[in-house]
Amino acid sequence: MNSQKRYSLFAKFYDVIILRLFGYEIAANYFVEQLPFNTNDKIDVLDAGAGTGLYSFAILKRFPNAKIEAFDLNEELLAKFRIKVRQKELSNSINIFIGDILSPFSQNKQFDLIITGGVLEHVDINKAIKNLSQYIKTGGYFLNAGVKNNLIGKTVGGIWHIHTFSKEKVISAFLSYNLSAVKYLLLPGKYFFIGLVKEAYIFKKL
């Protein structure tokens, strides 16, 4: 069973089991808080591989004036995302569409911020960054929240059929497309469990 089928299978329980119980929601909120924008900034955001909207909602919690374009390949996860957007009355702030992180899409705009939250581990990282980098403004930022390349991360990777990357590999891949590392983010010790799995990087488009 590939990772997309696994996500579809768990779509009904994804938010409770993966995001809340395992602490992914805590991690997302923490990483978003480290972004170098002011709270009231009107930023355009691309949430690439959005799933059920974890990072989109974290963005709007921190930056309520943000406008978000969010996409994913998995229709079951996006269906849950759309329901939550309606329930939270955020339709004016979030536009959701089906898209592939490796392929150009029809939205002809550039963004102040692009987010990938654990999606690069599913694909060829260089191809994904090459594709996404064309949609980020010069001086804009790219937040990549990935899975650690340690024993725990590799175990998680084995379960979900994903690849983990060393810090050097991640930074090198982004540098290849004029994205310079600004900050490497680790979770505080109080978030012990999810801190064993998740890390993040903030890059800036040169």
Q: What is the tens place of the pLDDT at every residue in 48-96?
A: 999 999 999 999 999 999 999 999 999 999 999 999 999 999 999 999 9
The answer to whether the predicted template modeling score (pTM) of the entire model surpasses 0.85 is yes
Q: Which residue has the tokens 């994804």?
A: 14
Please answer whether residues 148 and 166 qualify as being in contact, where contact means their C-beta atoms are separated by less than 8 angstroms: no
pLDDT band at 13 (very low <50, low <70, confident <90, very high): low
Question: Domain extents for the chain?
Answer: 3-187
Q: What is the mean predicted confidence (pLDDT) over 92-115? A: 93
Q: What is the mean predicted confidence (pLDDT) over 163-169? A: 95
pLDDT in tens, 29-45: 999 999 999 999 999 99
Q: What is the pLDDT of residue 12?
A: 57
Q: How many CB atoms lie within 10 A of CB 46?
A: 25
C-alpha span between 162 and 123 (Å, rounded): 8
Q: Order of strands, edge to edge, in the sheet holding 111-117? A: 94-98, 67-72, 44-48, 111-117, 136-147, 198-205, 179-185
Q: What would the two tokens of residue 49 be?
A: 């591989």
Q: How many CB atoms lie within 10 A of CB 106?
A: 6
pLDDT in tens, 55-67: 999 999 999 999 9
Name the average pLDDT for the chain. Answer: 90
Domain 3-187: state its class: alpha beta
Q: What is the pLDDT of residue 11?
A: 52
Please answer whether residues 71 and 99 qualify as being in contact, where contact means their C-beta atoms are separated by less than 8 angstroms: yes
